[in-house]
């Protein structure tokens, strides 16, 4: 009997929002088909181009149209990856809006939650089902999408250019961060729905909250893990590490004091005189190497999961205070 009671609210949530969950389940399948299909076609185009004997770097007469056509088709993979990254960046917002509005606030606004509570379903169990079912669907869907995007990025980067995993589009679409954002927004959406009890208002507040969360974490992301520093003499050749992202740069005096990068900006063409007058002996560059990608991802994901847990705890507290 207890098993049936536990499964009842979950089945109700699935039935109420069947189409939304079907869409969430179809997204990974569509993404995998699009990414794998585009990559296979890109490989086919590359092999066909290699058979023509033409070269992108050294274009000879008669190959201009062939090279242009090849480059246009190669850009398809990049376009698909860009759209996939955009999808992964907006998906957490849609998850939060969906839970805030249709799942929670609409029932509170219309009063239909009372029907569930009159069927031997406690408010706590009702809210647990409202959170658990979307959480499981979101976790599965976003994880598959993230893995598919990571696979496609690896294929694309290995063929055409060095990895750019620190760019916002790529960083936000692969690894554990997309899952953390989705679960965090799910929890914040539920909290907004319980607090506001109005569908549109809860959805708007959730969307604003997502924007604020993204801006805040993008601002502090470089400080979530200790960066490395390279120093080198002014005017000397320096090669930036592949796959790294810079977090700061400037000058270093003979006493070890750091000066900002624009310390000699007003000196225009007399840079050497500025360096001498300010006793500058070195340049410095703070950066995160490619090996810092996963530490940054895991720390940011941990922050998001802690925020999600706090939002869930607060949501249950609000529910108990208002409805016992």
- Computed on alpha carbons and rounded to an integer, the radius of gyration of the chain in Å comes to 26
Contacts for 156-162 with beta carbons within 8 Å, 24 or more apart? 156/39, 156/77, 156/78, 156/81, 159/46, 160/74, 162/242, 162/243
Query: Is the pLDDT reported for residue 91 higher than 70?
Result: yes
Query: Is the pLDDT reported for residue 201 higher than 70?
Result: yes
Query: What is d(CA 272, CA 94) in angstroms, rounded to the nearest whole number?
Result: 54
Alpha carbon dihedral 55, 59, 60, 63, in 10-degree steps, equals 70
225 sits in which H/E element? none
Q: How far is CA 33 from the centre of its chain?
A: 21
pTM of the model: 0.86
Over residues 275-301, the mean pLDDT reads 93
Query: What is d(CA 319, CA 125) in angstroms, rounded to the nearest whole number?
Result: 11
Confidence of residue 157 (pLDDT cuts 50, 70, 90): low
Give percent of the chain with pLDDT exceeding 70.
Answer: 93
The segment with the largest mean pLDDT, out of 174-178, 255-259, 273-277, 304-308, is: 304-308
pLDDT at 209 (0 to 100)? 95
Confidence of residue 118 (pLDDT cuts 50, 70, 90): confident
Residues paired with 260 in a beta bridge: 250
Q: Please, are residues 103 and 300 in contact by the beta-carbon 8 Å criterion? A: no
């Amino acid at each position: 009997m207890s098993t049936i009671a536990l499964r009842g609210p979950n089945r109700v949530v699935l039935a109420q929002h069947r189409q939304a969950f079907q869409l969430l389940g179809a997204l990974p399948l569509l993404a995998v088909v699009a990414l794998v299909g585009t990559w296979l076609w890109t490989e086919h185009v590359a092999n066909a181009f290699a058979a023509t004997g033409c070269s992108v770097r050294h274009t000879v007469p008669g190959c201009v149209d062939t090279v242009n056509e090849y480059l246009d088709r190669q850009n398809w993979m990049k376009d698909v990856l860009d759209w996939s990254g955009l999808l992964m960046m907006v998906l957490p917002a849609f998850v939060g809006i969906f839970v805030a509005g249709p799942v929670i606030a609409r029932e509170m606004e219309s009063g239909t939650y009372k029907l569930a509570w009159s069927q031997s379903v406690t408010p706590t169990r009702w809210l647990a089902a409202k959170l658990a079912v979307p959480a499981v669907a979101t976790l599965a869907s976003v994880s598959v999408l993230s893995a598919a995007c990571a696979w496609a990025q690896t294929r694309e980067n290995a063929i055409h250019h060095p990895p750019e995993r620190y760019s916002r589009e790529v960083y936000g679409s692969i690894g554990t961060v997309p899952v953390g954002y989705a679960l965090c927004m799910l929890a914040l959406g539920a909290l907004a729905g319980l607090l506001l009890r109005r569908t549109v208002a809860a959805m708007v507040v959730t969307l604003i909250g997502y924007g604020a969360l993204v801006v805040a974490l993008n601002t502090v992301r470089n400080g979530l893990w200790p960066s490395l520093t390279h120093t080198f003499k002014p005017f000397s050749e320096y090669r930036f590490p592949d796959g790294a992202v810079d977090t700061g740069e400037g000058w270093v005096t003979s006493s070890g004091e750091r000066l900002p990068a624009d310390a000699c900006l007003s000196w225009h063409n007399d840079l050497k005189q500025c360096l001498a007058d300010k006793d500058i002996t070195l340049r410095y560059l703070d950066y995160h190497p490619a090996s810092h990608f996963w530490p940054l991802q895991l720390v940011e994901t941990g922050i998001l999961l802690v925020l999600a847990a706090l939002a869930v705890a607060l949501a249950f507290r609000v529910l108990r205070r208002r409805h016992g």
